[in-house]
Amino acid sequence: MRLLRTMMLHKVQLLAVLAFGLAVLFIENQIQKIDESREILEQTIARHEVAEVEQRHAEAGGQVTSSLSEADNVVVIYNRVPKTGSTSFTNLAYDLCGKNGFHVLHINTSKNNPVLSLQDQVRFVHNVTSWREMKPAFYHGHVVYLDFSKYGVKGKPTYINVVRDPVERLVSYYYFLRFGDDYRPGLRRRKQGDKKTFDECVATGGPDCAPEKLWLQIPFFCGHHSECWNVGSRWALEKAKANLLSEYLLVGLTEELEDFVMILEAVLPRFFKGATQLYRTGKKSHLRKTTEKKPPAQDTISKLQQSDVWKMENEFYLFAQDQFQFVRAHAVREKDGKLSVLPQSFFYEKIYPKVS
């Protein structure tokens, strides 16, 4: 009996040990499972974090590519004055835009009015500034200077222009209205059929050759202020000079267009790479000549030169000439009768703190 009880007890103990062992095994198994899940969870979290970092990088990178680089964001505005030989220069831009990868846009204003209404000024400034698909862009047209900084946009365009001797410009315009040019020979001109020469016009005091008609390059550089159009205004002359210096990257002369092109190529290669070569080889095709132009007689010129308007327009022209020749003297060198632009002649040194 006793033996039997002991055997039973042994059995119970054995069972208990067995159960305990099983329980331990089960718990270990569960712990391992938890460990595995934790590992999976950690891996998932890590993967998620990596993805997040990568996404942030991609976003930052995307921002760099979607916001245009400095050179590709440039807008050049050439607010050309009529009859300054500007078509020759504009055609260069059309010939280069495909190869150099920029857009050229003509600003066509109704009735060729060079002054924009206030609402058009706002439209134009906002459109030019935000129109990414067109950048880099070269805009040209007979529009007077417009100061972008007062319309609440970031950044300013790069203005360039060309000026011409005021009497020659007026003579050219006079004949252009009567005979057109070899550029669009079929087009009917406003004063077509009028055979009167410029000399005859000045002698008889006609309106198309009146000294007031000289007042054009000053208002083009002066801009959208009432006083700019006040013929003979000293304030307008000073404003035009100040704008020429501070708001224009470069103002060339009709009489020295090749040098203008050469310096522009050095200053704005993103647009004008290859322009000098093209201008030299294709000189004829880029020239636009007013047909039937008779040079004015000396006393015609003298008569115009007596007017205050001529004196001021001429002062502005000489001012532009001085400035252009100053720029050229510092930008170009002559060697064996050939002009070339100077290479970079500054460098940095003594850069601190040293990078190790």
Ligand X SMILES: *[C@@H]1O[C@H](CO)[C@@H](O)[C@H](O)[C@H]1NC(C)=O
Residue whose CB is less far from ligand X, 109 or 321: 109
Binding residues for ligand X, per CB under 6 A?
Answer: 108, 127, 130-131
- Of 103, 126, 142, 225, which is the active-site residue? 142
- Of 48, 103, 126, 140, which is the active-site residue? 140
Residue whose CB is less far from ligand X, 94 or 131: 131
Q: Which two tokens stand for residue 211?
A: 């000294």
How near is the Cβ of 108 to ligand X at its closest, in Å?
Answer: 4
Angle ∠(305,311,314) on CA atoms, nearest 5: 95
Q: Is 142 a catalytic residue?
A: yes
CA distances in angstroms from 282 to 18, 82, 84, 91, 250, listed in the order given: 104, 22, 19, 11, 23
CA distances in angstroms from 352 to 23, 48, 347, listed in the order given: 71, 41, 15
Separation of alpha carbons 6 and 323, rounded Å? 123
Separation of alpha carbons 312 and 214, rounded Å? 9
How near is the Cβ of 160 to ligand X at its closest, in Å?
Answer: 19
Q: Which two tokens stand for residue 221?
A: 């550089």
Asked whether 126 and 152 are in contact (CB, 8 A), the reply is: no
Separation of alpha carbons 199 and 197, rounded Å? 5
Tell me which residue of 239, 227, 212, 233 sits closest to 310, measured CA to CA. Answer: 212
How near is the Cβ of 131 to ligand X at its closest, in Å?
Answer: 4
CA distances in angstroms from 301 to 23, 94, 174, 233, 304, listed in the order given: 118, 36, 14, 22, 5
Residue whose CB is less far from ligand X, 130 or 305: 130
Beta-bridged to residue 251, according to DSSP, are 161
How near is the Cβ of 154 to ligand X at its closest, in Å?
Answer: 14
Residue whose CB is less far from ligand X, 117 or 127: 127
Q: Is 140 a catalytic residue?
A: yes
How near is the Cβ of 61 to ligand X at its closest, in Å?
Answer: 24
Residue whose CB is less far from ligand X, 156 or 311: 156
How near is the Cβ of 137 to ligand X at its closest, in Å?
Answer: 11
Burial 68-103 (b: 16+ CB within 10 A, else e): eeeeeebbbbbbbbebbbbbbbbbbbebbbeebebe
Residue whose CB is less far from ligand X, 233 or 290: 290
Instruction: Please list the active-site residues.
Output: 140, 142
